[in-house]
Every structure is written in C-alpha cells, then in structure tokens.
A and B are shown apart, each in its own frame.
Chain A
Amino acid sequence: MAFIAFLIIFPLVAAAALALFHSESARRVIVLVAGFVIAIVSIAFIVVALPAFGGRLILIEFDSEIIDHIGTGITVLIAVVVLYFAWRYKNFWAGIIATIQVVLALVVETLFAHELDVPFGLYFDGLSLLMTFIIGVIGSGICIYAIGYMEDFQAHEPKGARDRRPMFFSLMFVFLSAMYVIVFSNNLIWLFTGWEVTTLCSFLLIGFTRTEEAIRNAFRQIIMNMAGGIGFAIALYCCTAWLHTASLVEFIAYGSMAAPGAAVVAVFLAFAGITKAAQMPFQTWLLGAMVAPTPTSALLHSSTMVKAGVFLLVKLAPVFAACEVPSIMVMLVGGITFMLCSFMAISQSNGKRVLAYSTIANLGLITACAGVGTPEAVWAACFLILFHALAKSLLFMCVGTAEHHIGSRDIEDMDLLFDRMPRLARIMMLGIMGMFIAPFGMLVAKWATLVSFVDTGEVALILILGFGSAATFMFWAKWLGKLAGIAGSPENVELTVHKSEWGTLLLMAVLLIVACVLLPLISLVIVEPYVASVYGALGQDITSDNLWIASICVVFVVVVLFGSFGSPRTRRVKVYLAGVGEDHDARTFRNSLSGITTATARNWYMEDFFGESRVAPIGVWASTIVMAVAAILAFVGVGFGVTPLM
C-alpha cells in the first residue's frame, strides 16, 4: 500500500519540482534523482510483493471520498484545458467531443457511481507488477535519456525559441504517475481519471513544438482518444447501472460468467482500449505522434499510453473468453491491424515511421491475444508487452540519438552506421533482432501466440499471423542489413553522444538481453502465477526445455554481436564493381566512357504492393465495420433478451 501510494504521488512531486525550478542544472539533478528513485522503488515493490503474494490478485482496502472528488475535479480540469486549446486553435471537433465527454463523465460519476462503494479501491497482481517494472524502469529510463536528448534538441532549435523543457519534463513524470493509477486502480472511476490524464499528457507532449503539424497531430490524437474516453464513460454507465458495480475486479468476475449486459460493457471498454492502443482505424494518431521529440515517442510507444490500452484489454481477457461478441471484435481488429500495419511498414523508409507501424502491429497482436482470452494467449500477451516495451524503447532512443548525429532519421541514410557509430549501430541491431527474430523474447512470445491460435482453432488468426510475420521479417531484415554495411573507416561521429543517453541505451540493451536469457525464469516467477490466478489453469505450452534452448541461442547471438570483430589473418580486398574502381568505399568506378559512375543501392519498399494508400483504407473500413457490427450485436443481445438485464 505504501509502495503504491509512493509510486503514484512521488512522480507528481517530481513534476511539480520540475515545473518550479527552471535552471538547467536543477532539472538535471531532479530528473536523475527522481528517475532513479522511481525505478528503485518499483523494483523494491516487485521484490517485496512477489515472494509474499506470488502473482496472485491482492485487493487493498482503500476508499476515500476525497479522492473521488479529486478525480471529478481532474476530469473537469482536463475538459477545461482541452476546451481552451480547442478555442485557441479553432478546433471545433475537439471542443464538441471534450464537452460530450465531460458531461457524460460527470453524469456517470455524480448520479450513478457515487452511490456505489468500492471498498477495495486498489489492487495489484502479476500483470500490474509487470507493468510496474515497465513503467518504473523503462519509463524513468526514458526520462533520464531525455536530459541529454533535450539539450541537443534545444541546441537544434532556432535562436530565441522559447524553452518549454520544464513543461516537457513535468508532463513526462505526470504521465508515469497516471500510468501507476491505471495499473493499480480497482475503482473504475479512478482508472478512468488516470486514463484521461494520459490522454491529456500525450496531447500536450505531441503538440510540444507548437508547429502547425504538431498541433494538427495533437488534435487528431485528442479527438480519437477522447472518443475512446466517451466509450469508456458509456461502459462505466452500463456497468454501474446494470451490473451495479464500479470495481474492475468485480466486473471481470461478472463478465467471465457472461453476466447479462457484460458484453455491452466489454465492447465499450474494448473500444476505449482499442483507441488508446492505436488499433485501426485509429492508427493515425500514433503515426502523427512522431512529430514530438523522440523521448515522447519512446514513452508513448513503449511504456505508457498505448500500453495502458493493451493493459486494459489483457485485463479483460477472461471476459472475452466468456463473451463471444466483444471477443470476436477484439480478435479481428487486432489481427487486421497486425497484418496490415506490418505490410505498410515495408513501404516506409523513415525510421520512426517504421517503428510506429511496428508498434501498432505488435499492439495488434497483443490485442488479438487478449481477444482469444485463453490462458496460453494471455501468457503470450504478457511477454509481448514486456519485450515490446524493452526493444521498442531501445530502438526509439537509438534512432533519436542517430538523428542528432547523422542529421536524418531515414533508414537509407543509416548506411554505414556500423562504421560511423559502431556502438550505437550494434545496440540498434540488438534492438531490431529483439523485435523479430528467434531466439529473442519477442519471437518466443509470437511462437506462444501461434500455439494458442492453433489450440483454439482460430483459422483467420493463424493465416493473419503467418502473412504478418513474413512481412515483419522483410522490413526488419532490410533495416538490419542497412546498418550492417561496412566500408573503410569513415569518421566516427558518436563521440559527442551525451552520457545520460549512453547510460540509458546501455541499461535498456542489458535489460533486453537479461530478460531474453531469463525468459523461462520470468515466466515461472511472475507470468505463470498471474495466469494461474486468473484462470486457475496454467497457460504455458512451450516446454521450458525449448525456452532454455532459445536462451542459449540468445547468448550466442549476443556474443557474436558484441564480441571482438575482425580476424587479422584475412587479407582485405575491394568489392567488385564491374569496372575499374575509383573509390571502392564510395562505390564509384570508371565506366566505359571513362567517366565516373557511382553505384547506388536502395532497399526495396514495394510501394505498389504495400503502399499506405493501398493498404490503409482496407484496414480502416474493415475495422470500423467490425466494431460497428459488434456494438450493434451487443445491444441487440440485450434488447432481445438473449442476455436479459438483471
């Protein structure tokens, strides 16, 4: 209890301090100290809680009228802030949606929910602990990385530009606090408040640079996520009015018995989760979020925001296992998103955009797993969440650092990175391998996903996974190849990378390796007990022997990647250029007319097959139709008394 209170309140204190002290050195100290404290307390909490409670669900008796009122106050405040920006930038739709949402939320909170007591306001279980690790360690790691990054960022800004960094860092810490609220709240109203705070924070962070593009994308984000918020509010209404509970745990218990009306609540909660997890048709907000400085992207993609969406969906998995309509909706939306976004990633050359599509695709896979809702699928989803957070945060930070030092985030410009930034390139390669290739954790999770799909006989999902994975191989392998190129010895440009950036990069890389190697152990200690406590059955059907084989392979790959390269015995020669070579490192040669020709090679992007304009509309329409049909079916189920109300 003390741990949870500390984890929620301390980041807020840090945020306040950052808002107050504007000097460079003070900020550095505060971020560093706060980041370390959050990480250490998070780990301490896990270390204390795990042996004592395993991964079981522990409810904490805590109810407070005051916190209810604070929650309502925050809801109103968020609406005011959004309305202010909507008025200032003349964005009509944002204003409308914010108004609808605040009215709905207030009606639910004051008229229905306050009569319902949730004596156990807080809880934690294996999944919360896993999220605590992701938020506490990866999240605050990104905050520390941001110290160095934002210095470079400010230096790249035009002279006299306003320094908004205090707000930036404050928001990052508020974000962490809100995430803790989401993962520990049993009271759905509090959960909703945390949910809305993350929406607002990412709105402000995306709009950070206040350029026209940033503002446009920020509004797209807020409109989509507030629509999700409306879905959440409707779910709250149905839950309180029909099921007479505002407790997440109780709702899940009702839902997994397919209680009447639960399907409707599940559909709307899933809708909220889907918007937040940027599933199609809402994928554009996460793509637009890239205009923000890289630490924001890293935070949004890996440890917060989108992870809140999939966290809720995975939490609801037992409900999906029992209720068919929301289950099929979530599976289809997740599956479609996974496959189509993997396709679209092939056609992108902008590194951050590839990362964004890959994030959305992987979230799709997690969503699909949650929709399947069997113990095996939830096991896979937990690991997908963990490894995606580790590898993706590492990759975003690598791309951010590379961008500041080679002046581009285009993958084609990362040619020769292995020479120019040898350490960074290796870390980036590790991150990429961690995303898609055996024996790293991400693939082990995908493997478990496939097994669970086959077990449950989800034919469509098996096919989707097959083709999606093939596309995944394509877009990662060609990026990896670009990084691996070696020629001569161009100037090493990584000497000027900030210490805080190196520190975090190394930390993430080490964490990724350790987590991959110790995957069988993590499974045993935290994920399996969680799955067992939710379902009463173990949900793991990859034998631990196979997991250990994968671990051994991880060690081998890492040794190769970071071990000493280049045996002195081999004689070096120049590459073949079908002509008399001029400068082999630059790939120029003398052609048949005695002129100089440069050989160029670009990766394949296959616009004709996988271009955004071809693929995106299919996914947007398919997902929209699926969700609309699901909502109608759920209500029809209630209306026709298939699932009569209580």
Chain B
Amino acid sequence: MTLLITLIGCLVFAVVAPVVGCLIAGVDRIISARMQGRVGPPLLQPYYDVRKLLEKENVSVNGVENIYIVCALVFTIIAGGIFFSGGNLLLCVFVITLSSMFFIIAAYSARSPYAEVGANRETLQVMAYEPMVLFMAVGLYLGAQTFDVRGIFALDVPIIASTWLIFIGLLFVLTIKLRKSPFDLSMSHHAHQEIVRGVTTEMSGPTLARVEIMHWCENVLFLGWVGMFFVWGNPLSILLAIAVIVVVYFLEIWIDNNFARMKWQFMLKSAWIVALVTGGINIAFVVFL
C-alpha cells in the first residue's frame, strides 16, 4: 500500500514540483532584481530559459555525464514523492543525498579542473549540512513519535513547539541547500561570484536544463521541510505553513543579496557548530526533560 502511495506521490511531484519550483525561481529573480534596484525579468523567465536549453543540441564531454544527471533528477523526484506522500523522512533525506552524489559524480566524470573544484566543494557542502538535516529528521521523531511525515497530521500541536531550536539550525543550512550566497560555493547564480561556474562547467543544453529542473524540485522539497514544522491536525495549518515558507524564502533571498561568498572553512565550521549547538541542545532537552 505504502509502495503505491509513494509511486503516486512521485508521479504527482514530478508534474507539480517543476511548475511550482519554476514559479518560485521566477519570483526569486524579480525580488532579487528589485532589491538591486532593477526591474527584473518576467515571471516565466526561468521557464523560457529551460525551454531554450532543451531545444539546443546535445553536446557533452563524455557519454555518461548526462546519465548521471538523469539519475540525480530521478532520485530528487523520488525523494520529493516520498516526502509529500507522507512517507519516511529519513528515507527522503537519504534519497536526496543519493541524488547529490550522482550530481557530484557527473561533475567529476567530466574531468574538467573547474568542474572538479566544484565537485569537491559540493561534497564539502553535503558534509556541512548533512548532520543538521539528520537532526531535523530526529526532531520530527521527537515531536511526532514517528519518522513518517504523515504523522504530523495527527498532532495537537505542531512540532515547532518542541523543536524550534532545530528549526533555527535548519534555516542556517537551508542557505547551503538552496544554493544561496554566502554558501553557494559549488556553483553560484550570481555572475560576479566566479569566473568559471563550478559543478556545471561542462554541462550544456538539455543536460543543463535537467540540472535546472532538479534544482527547482529540490527547492520545493526543502521548503516542504520548512513547512512541515508548522503543520498539525488542523487542515488550516497548511496555510500557516505556506505563510512561513513565504517568509523564510524572502529571508533567504535577502541573505542571498546582502552577503558575499564565504570561504569553505567558515561554512564547514559554522554549519557544524550550529548543528551541534541547536541539534544537541534541542535533542537533549526533549529526551531528558
């Protein structure tokens, strides 16, 4: 039964997430532009960009990069399907990590020095945010007594009540996960941050389009994690969750536009310290009290 629900979840996510993600990206670009005193592109500009990429000739440095990227995309969709169909959050976290790994291998396989630097940094980013993401899943368990996301709909109070510290930690690593400055080390959306674009240096045309779609889906999933903290038995709580997501995403855009890229040492140290402090204190507090 769970298998079937997950499968349906994946199919729905595969259709809905790119649309939602695309719109979020469009809004993101408009708001960013306004913050920089520009008018910005039309809302559907990300869609036009990807459509153009898909129409381009399929050019690559080897025959496998493309396949790895397809894998990364597929696993992102599976992770999203698991999450939004109310499945096991840990499984969702592990599958999204698998997706990151395929993305990293795709960059390595090109053997471009620039892509390799990007891949190294991407690996480092995964290492930096992974503990906090696991603690987030533990937070769900502490609040809902289950790792199944659907468990939150049976709650009287949202899990944020007992895990707000973990939520703050999650917000910190969310900047890494959403690929926002100051932690967009492996590849940046800002042209001024780097001379050659890291991980995706050798990706072009349809492959690059798939990376972009994957990024949209990821964003939807991660924002779903944020919303999860605010949902309980009351159906109206979903509206609250969406409101929180809007605020959080606006905050991320603001951070993105106001900070220059940090060094990796700072990212690793700060992300781990935040994870240790927020995760450690929060988990200990719930377990021992």
Contacts and interface: CB of A to CB of B under 8 A. Distances in A.
A550 B91 contact: yes
A566 interface: yes
Contacts of A553: 75, 78, 95, 98
B123 A477 contact: yes
B84 interface: no
A450 interface: yes
Interface string B37-53: 00000000000000000
Interface string A510-540: 0000000000000000000000000000000
A574 B201 CA distance: 12
Interface residues of A, number: 62
A485 B111 contact: yes
B24 interface: no
Given A473-B97, A603-B120, A454 B268 contact: no
Interface in B170-217: 196, 201-202
Nearest to B88: A546
B82 A549 contact: yes
B146 to A, nearest CB: 10
Contact of A572 (B60, B74, B95): B60
Contact of B127 (A418, A437, A470, A482): A470
A463 B280 contact: yes
B276 to A, nearest CB: 7
A484 B101 CA distance: 12
A571 interface: yes
A571 B135 contact: no
A457 B57 CA distance: 55
A570 B98 contact: no
Nearest to B82: A549
A88 B25 CA distance: 74
Contacts of A542: 88
Contacts of B126: 470, 473-474, 477
A473 B64 contact: no
A498 B123 CA distance: 35
Contacts of A482: 108
Nearest to A601: B116
B134 A465 contact: yes
A181 to B, nearest CB: 38
A469 B98 contact: no
Interface stretch (A91-99, A387-395, A575-583, A637-645): A575-583
Contacts of B57: 571
B3 A487 contact: no
A457 B94 contact: no
A457 B128 CA distance: 24
Interface string B56-94: 011111111011000100110010001000011011001
A466 interface: yes
Nearest to B131: A466
Contacts of B116: 481, 601
A447 interface: yes
B70 to A, nearest CB: 8
A576 B196 contact: yes
Interface string A567-611: 101111111111000000001000000000001110110000100
A549 B87 CA distance: 11
A546 B90 CA distance: 10
Contacts of A550: 91
B101 A466 contact: no
A599 B130 contact: no
B61 A480 contact: no
Interface in A533-564: 542-543, 545-546, 548-550, 553, 556-557, 560
A415 to B, nearest CB: 8
A256 B103 CA distance: 48
A462 interface: yes
A437 B109 contact: no
A546 B127 contact: no
B135 A466 contact: yes
A549 B82 CA distance: 10
B117 interface: yes
Contacts of B104: 477, 480-481
A569 B120 contact: no
A470 B91 CA distance: 16
Most B CB contacts (10 A, CB to CB) among A416, A447, A459, A587 go to A459
B287 interface: yes
A471 B114 CA distance: 23
A576 B123 contact: no
B267 to A, nearest CB: 12
A463 B135 CA distance: 8
A624 to B, nearest CB: 24
A576 B95 contact: no
Contacts of A481: 104-105, 107-108, 116, 119, 123
Contacts of B268: 609
Given A473-B127, A481-B105, A486 B59 contact: no
A438 interface: yes
Contact of B147 (A439, A451, A548): A451
B98 A437 contact: yes
Contacts of A462: 135, 138, 283
A218 to B, nearest CB: 36
B90 A474 contact: no
Contacts of A438: 91, 94-95, 97-98
Interface string B131-150: 11011001001100001000
B108 A474 contact: no
Contacts of A543: 2, 88
Contacts of B74: 556
A216 interface: no
A569 B141 CA distance: 48
A209 to B, nearest CB: 35
Contacts of B283: 459, 462-463
A560 B71 contact: yes
Contacts of A571: 57-60
Contacts of B109: 418, 484-486
B279 interface: yes
A583 B202 CA distance: 17
Nearest to B121: A604
B280 A459 contact: yes
A478 interface: yes
Contacts of A447: 90-91, 94
A599 B63 contact: no
A579 to B, nearest CB: 11
B113 interface: yes
Nearest to A608: B265
A209 B284 CA distance: 51
A577 B116 CA distance: 12
B229 interface: no
Nearest to A600: B113
A236 interface: no
A577 B113 contact: yes
A447 B108 CA distance: 28
Contacts of A601: 113, 116-117
A467 interface: yes
A569 B58 contact: yes
Contacts of A548: 3
A545 B1 contact: yes
B6 interface: yes
Contacts of B113: 577, 587, 599-601
Contacts of B241: none
A575 B112 contact: yes
A570 B6 contact: no
Contacts of A319: none
B58 A549 contact: no
Given A481-B116, A567-B63, 14 more contacts: A438-B91, A463-B279, A463-B280, A477-B105, A484-B105, A484-B108, A486-B109, A545-B3, A549-B6, A553-B95, A557-B98, A575-B115, A576-B114, A587-B113
8 contacts: A439-B94, A447-B90, A450-B138, A454-B142, A485-B109, A487-B111, A543-B88, A576-B196
